[in-house]
Structure 1
Amino acid sequence: MSDQITVETPPQSPSETDPENRIASRIQGFDIARALAIFGMITVNYRATFPISEESPAWFEWAANQVNGRAAALFVFLAGIGISLLSRKARFSGDKADIRADRVALLRRSAFLLVIGFWFRQYWEYDILHFYGVYLLIAAAILTVPNRGLLIFAFVATIVFPFMFYILPEHFGIDFWGTTSEFNPRAILIDYFFQGYHPVLPWIAFMIIGMIIGRLDLTDKAIRRRLLIGGVVLALTAETIGYIFLNMGVLKLWEDIFPSTDLEQASYLLDSSAFPPMPLFIAAGLGWGMAIVSLCLSLGERFAGRAWIMPLVHTGQLALTIYIVHGTIGVWVVEWVGHKPSQTLTWVIAYSALLYAVLIVLATLWRRRYERGPVEAIMRRLTDSWKSEINPVPPADAAKPV
């Protein structure tokens, strides 16, 4: 994904390429991907919120575990793509005023999400919004950095975390598995960069690579095909390496050769799970993100505006509102009806699916009357100065017949 292989052309007028339909279908594809990410995040967060006491079939546990971290990674990855799309005109023109305006827009959104995130974090332990605010702050600073520079930045962000993981506990007494309820500069920095569920290093890599992908011509089917194949290969390679070392005795063999090896500590480095977020997790998350985005873009292009697909599109458009609802009302409902001390995995998945179905219906009804979700509208009112080439999709009642 260096500058040499990036395919991005300057913005053209509708009269040159008639891009309106292609842009709309492309954006619908992103909304579909965002809707899928939201469902994954709901299931992951509810598994953590509602303790699971009973064991489930191994295959069910395995399938549910595959979503851990990947859904949130897709969410951040999509944000990076969106940043490149929205800043495309300014980057091509090189106009300093336009670039400054885009940076200011990002900084405003960053401030909004930091405020909302700090508030939400007090109630919802698993909040990602306060991390999102920092991601956008960094994105504003590197908005015009060439692809090679972005790639280096993402690589450094990925490999720094393992050093932090092994050095900070021993030399500074900061335990990755610990938590703090303190509200002071030191505690905030530790949460943002080390102990939090989505630490800036290495999670910013998802947004940075998304920014690179967003500079590609994603209307090109050949590029989407390469994105799909490359993503699947990257993800499977990362997952396979982790599996071979941790489940096929390779790491134990290493201990036999080097008896001083601490198997538990070494296993973290070779794990593709989200906690702790080691390089194999970043690679797997990026790979699956690339593949899902490619598939969703093709789906959006093939079935753009169809009545059956628009509910997913609308759900993706209200992602921020839905995220806050699932962490508040979605939890309160369970408490109101009599929350049990523990639940089964089947119950958690079923409740997540039921809530998600209700939210899809509500999102569809909302979009029939309003262009944006309530939280999205507030954020846009307070922060948005972008003049984007991307127009909102038609309301649901204007959808094409099946």
Structure 2
Amino acid sequence: MTSRGTASTSRPAAGKLAGTRLSGIDAARGLALLGMMATHVFPTFESNAHLTPTWTGLVFSGRASALFAVLAGVGLALSTGKQQPLHGPALWAARRGVALRALVIGAVGLSLGGLEVNIAIILVHYAVLFLCVLPFLGLDVKHLLVLAAGWVLVSPAVAFLLRPWLLTAEPPLQLGHNPLREDLSTPAVLLGDLFLTGYYPVLQWITYLLIGLAIGRLALTSASVPVLLLAVGSAVAVLAKWLSVVMMEDWGGRAALQATLLDPSYPLESLLQVNLAGVDQTGSAWWLASSAPHSGTTLDLLHTSGVAAAVVGVFLLVGRLVQRPGLDVLLPLRGAGAMTLSFYTAHLCVMASLYGRPLPSGWTVEGVYWGQAVSILVLGGIFAALSWRGPLEWVAHAANQLGRFQPARVR
């Protein structure tokens, strides 16, 4: 699931990482993985009448997965020219490589879709996002920012208008489950779910990859850019959340939305704080004023993108400050971040093995999480220290290299 940095001029040994990587980017990706795992293991709401949000729900819900998607865009930028986007045959080769890597990720996601697990698996959506941004890989930072600004403003409104039509179709263009290989036989339903009616609506989520591409086109190794990302990202995140609170509480938005719900006792206040996925956001334009996680609104996209940019800035700064010869305190976290496809897959398999049955004697929910987290950090650190790729990363990298292959021209 990770995107590689610049390629080395020498040929690496089989299974080895090629080229240099920004340790802060991989470490941020490791944090995103651990955050997503937290929302899968720990409850995001207390089991009471009001569904009181838990600490995990308030901190990680929506933000961890958005960080993951923004970092996908950063990785794509780093692998397609960094500050100077590729062009001509090199750009087309890079697009072929990204497309083949996306097919590998999508195939893994479709295979995992059959697991009995109460987790919305992101891999198929992730793969489709890679394919959707192929036309934009040759853009520079200025054009990417303009495009991202337009996308974050327009796509939520388009989704709001189209979603009711898709849901009232016969049959509704919504899966209600993780994408499976069998769903390829009903492409209209599958595409409707992936782009608009599912848990990670690709139409709006393209915003994250565009912002990530723009971030990746900046001079990330400079001293000022991480500070800029931290300052601007924090400001955008705070302002988006503040504006949503004003519209919801002071301008009457929440009361108007509560009146549209069929069940007046529905804990809308809690859902607006933690998760609107699965809520039928139709019947009132006030839904567009929400910044709730997984609402896919302009303010949600701005808030979560701002948080992601700030986190990237923090980890780039930490990477500059703490990395010394012979000492790499980020090694376990960046190792986990360089193997997210393998570790995410393993995590889903573990959770599927525990789903629907009581925990073994002596096990706790905390133990289930920290056992996986520590294992991932230890294994990630070992693989990073040895410059090894993860098994699924090796397959995705091979597909990328195959797509990028350009036969030597005969002179």
TM-score by length of 1: 0.76
Residues 164-187 of structure 1 deviation map (CA, whole Å, 9 limit, x = unaligned) = 324431586157998268820111
| Matching residue of 2:93 | 101
Partner of 1:16: none
Give 1:110-259 correspondences, 5 Å limit: 110-123=102-115, 125-158=119-152, 159-169=154-164, 173=168, 179=176, 183=183, 184-246=186-248, 248-251=249-252
Code of the residue aligned with 2:238 in structure 1: it is L
Contact 1:68 1:273 in 2 (8 A): no
Q: Which amino acid aligns with 1:311?
A: P
SS in 2 for 1:277: coil
Structure 1 residue identity aligned to 2:102: S
Encode CA deviations 1:214-273: one digit per residue, 9 max, x unaligned.
111011222221111100000001111122222x33226996xxx99x998344212112
> 1:308: which partner in 2?
329
280 and 366 in structure 1: CA distance in 2 versus 1, 3 angstrom threshold: same
Bigger CA drift: 39-48 or 112-121? Answer: 39-48
**Using the alignment, how far apart are the partners of 1:106 and 1:373 within structure 2?**
18
Looking at structure 1, the residues matched to 330 and 145 of structure 2 have their Cα atoms a distance apart, in angstroms, of 34
C-alpha distance in structure 2 between counterparts of 1:55 and 1:384, whole Å:
53
Q: Tell me: CA distance 1:363–1:179, structure 2 relative to 1, closer, same or farther (3 Å).
A: same
1:39 to 31, 34, 39: 34
How far apart are residue 333 of structure 1 and its match? 4.4
Question: Match for residue 57 of structure 2?
Answer: 64
* Match in the other structure for 2:359: 338
Q: Which residue of 2 aligns with 1:297?
A: 316
How many residue pairs get aligned? The number is: 353
Deviation at 1:191, TM superposition (A): 1.2
Name the CA distance, whole Å, in 1 between partners of 2:399 and 2:128: 18
Q: Structure 1's 349 and 151: CA in aligned 2 closer, same or farther, altered over 3 A?
A: farther
Q: Is the 8 A contact 1:252 1:263 kept in 2?
A: no
CA deviation after TM superposition for structure 1 residue 79, in Å: 1.2
Q: 1 CA distance for matches of 2:50 and 2:388?
A: 42
Equivalent residues of 1:40, 1:67 under 8 A apart: yes
- Look up the SS of the partner of 2:54 in the other structure: helix
Do the aligned residues in 2 keep the contact of 1:230 with 1:287 (CA within 8 Å)? Answer: yes
CA separation of 1:160/1:244 partners in 2, compared to 1, >3 Å: closer, same or farther? same
Corresponding residue SS for 2:345: helix
The structure with the greater share of residues assigned to helix is 1
SS in 2 for 1:338: coil
Task: From the superposition, tell whether residues 61 and 362 of structure 1 become closer, same or farther in structure 2 (CA, over 3 Å).
Answer: same
Give the Cα separation in 2 of the matches to 1:252 and 1:31.
39
Between the aligned partners of 2:401 and 2:33, the Cα distance in structure 1 is: 23
**TM-score, scaled to structure 2:** 0.75
Contact map agreement 2:25 2:315 (CA 8 A) in 1: yes
Superposition map of 1:43-54 within 5 A: 43-47=38-42, 53=47
More moved, 307-316 vs 109-118 = 307-316
Q: Deviations over 1:337-387 (max 9, x none)?
A: 6379xxxxxx65663233212221232334455611111112212332599
What's the secondary structure of 2:199's corresponding residue?
A: coil
**Superposition RMSD in Å:** 3.6
Structure 2, unmatched stretches of 5+, are 1-6, 10-18, 261-280, 405-411
* TM alignment of 1:345-356, pairs within 5 A: 348=365, 351-356=368-373
Going from structure 1 to structure 2, the CA distance change for 1:133 and 1:64 (only over 3 Å counts) comes to: same
- State whether residues 114 and 133 of structure 1, in contact with CA within 8 Å, keep that contact through their aligned partners in structure 2: yes
Which SS does the other structure have where 1:122 is aligned?
coil
Matches within 5 A, 1:72-83: 72-83=65-76
Q: Does 1:327 align with 2:328?
A: no
Instruction: Give per-residue Cα distances to partners, 1:282-318, cap 9 Å, x unaligned.
Output: 0011100110000101111111252433111211111
Supply the AA of the counterpart residue of 1:251: G
Q: Specify which of 263, 287, 304 is matched with residue 268 of structure 1.
A: 287
1:179 match: secondary structure: coil
CA gap of 1:382–1:236, structure 2 versus 1, over 3 A, is same
Instruction: Using the TM superposition, give the Cα deviation of residue 115 of structure 1 relative to its aligned residue in structure 2, in angstroms.
Output: 1.3
Q: How far is 1:52 from its partner?
A: 6.0
Are 2:97 and 2:399, in contact at CA under 8 Å, matched by a contact in 1? no
Q: 1:199 to 1:253 in 2, by over 3 A?
A: closer
Equivalent position SS for 1:74:
helix
How far apart are 1:163 and its partner, in Å? 3.2
Residues 351-360 or 67-76, more deviating: 351-360
Post-superposition offset of 1:93: 6.2
How far apart are the structure 1 equivalents of 2:321 and 2:230?
16
Equivalence for 2:374: 357
In structure 2, how many angstroms separate the alpha carbons of the residues matched to 1:369 and 1:140? 32
Give the SS at the match of 1:272: coil
What CA distance in whole angstroms lies between the structure 1 residues aligned with 2:374 and 2:30? 11
Task: Indicate if the aligned counterparts of 1:311 and 1:363 stay in contact, CA closer than 8 A.
Answer: yes
Deviation at 1:330, TM superposition (A): 3.5
Structure 1, residues 315-337: CA drift from partner, whole Å, max 9, x if none? 11111111111111244146676
Deviation at 1:111, TM superposition (A): 1.3
Aligned residue type for 1:141: P
> Which residues of structure 1 form unaligned runs of 5+?
1-10, 14-22, 341-346, 388-402
Q: 1:243 to 1:62 in 2, by over 3 A?
A: farther
Name the CA distance, whole Å, in 2 between partners of 1:374 and 1:368.
Answer: 16
The equivalent residue for 1:318 is 339
